Amino acid sequence: MTVLTHQTAAPTKAPGRPAALPAQLTTTVPREYVHRASLAEVFLTGCRRREGTQFALTGQWPRAHTFFTSGDGLSHTPMQAAETIRQVGLLLAHTQFGVPLGHQFLLHDMEYSTDPDQLLIGPRPTHLDLEADCTDLVWKKNRLARFAMHVRIRRQGHLAASGSGHFTCIAPATYRRLRGETHTAHRPPHPRPAPLTPQLAGRTHPRDVVLTGTGRPTSWLLNADTRHPVLFDHVGDHIPAMVLIEAAQQAACALTAPRTFTPATATTIFHRYTEHDPPCQIDATPTPGTTKEAAHITITGSQNGHQVFSTQLTGRLS
């Protein structure tokens, strides 16, 4: 199945007018298929089945994204690769495996690795060719219930990033039973504590910082602004997975400051839903293998005494 290849009849050429536009034009896939509210946050442009459960996709990263751009404006961030991988999983589930719109997805884990040289921003938007392999498909009553996916993201033939994840597809009625009152609970806005300084968190704007200090050098509290136009693109009853991965990266930056930590790989396991309340504590610990040039860091998030996620990060120190 091809997603978003619009076929239009070529208009008749009028005297004195330019030639007709080509019949095939490029645009993004429908935002609903990747669970985004804003068209600007859709990074996939097409999809076709190659063979069995292998797919070829195309995408594009903008040159000046408000969030997924490095502080110096020269590179795409690894988080943009992570978000693109997430979108691939949702798109394939809806368009290739028949999961209805309105179903929820539980992301059990995600890992990704990136090549910093292939994340550099060029003179034009970054066009992507992606390969996706889906495995471990589990069907219940002719409906996809679970699957795994591995994605490779190429830029002009060079591997820019790769990653994988495991998803569970949840019908609306099942999700309501699973989440109970949390699914519809009304949360009045809370005053947001002062976040870390952007420089400490590896960010340039206070709005993008998702941590606040605790007075301990290896521990912070999750402090994400739910009005953020990218991290909270749409209303949800729990903290999105991408926010937690971003929190892990910011914790690694704060732990290694004043040196600059540039993340390259991340492996995250999501143990349970992270609720908007009560506070979620983020802890970071250097792990064996950390050197003067590279850092290996373990980040965990805990809420109500239970671990909600854990991330293993590696990155370059400068």
The reported pTM is 0.89
| pLDDT at 9 (0 to 100) | 37
Quick count: other Cβ atoms within 10 Å of Cβ 270? 21
Write out the two tokens for 13.
Answer: 């050429």
Which region holds residue 80: left if phi is over 0, alpha if psi is between -120 and 50, else beta?
A: alpha
Q: How many helices (H) and strands (E) does the chain have?
A: 4, 14
Tell me the C-alpha distance between 115 and 140, whole Å.
38
Query: Is the N-terminal amide bond of 278 cis, ω within 30° of 0?
Result: yes
267, 259 Cβ separation under 8 angstroms: no
Q: For the chain, how are helix, strand and coil distributed in percent, rounded to 5?
A: 20, 40, 40
Which pLDDT tens digits describe the chain residue by residue (318 residues)?
Answer: 444 433 333 333 444 555 555 556 789 999 999 999 999 999 999 999 999 999 999 999 999 999 999 988 999 999 999 999 999 999 999 999 999 999 999 999 999 999 999 999 999 999 999 999 999 999 998 999 999 999 999 999 999 999 999 999 999 999 999 998 775 555 555 677 899 999 999 999 999 999 999 999 999 999 999 999 999 998 889 999 999 999 999 999 999 999 999 999 999 999 999 999 889 999 999 888 778 888 999 999 999 999 999 999 999 998
Task: Give the position of tokens 């979620």.
Answer: 280
What is the C-alpha separation between 265 and 269, in angstroms, rounded?
A: 14
* 3-state secondary structure labels for all residues of 63-114: CCCCCCECCCCCEECHHHHHHHHHHHHHHHHHHCCCCCCCCEEEEEEEEEEE
Report the distance separating Cα 137 and Cα 144, nearest Å: 7
Reported as type and span, the H/E element at residue 182 is none
The helix/strand/coil state of 249 is helix
| Two structure tokens written together for 15 | 């005297």
Distance, in Å, from the CA atom of 11 to the CA atom of 19, rounded to the nearest integer, reads 9
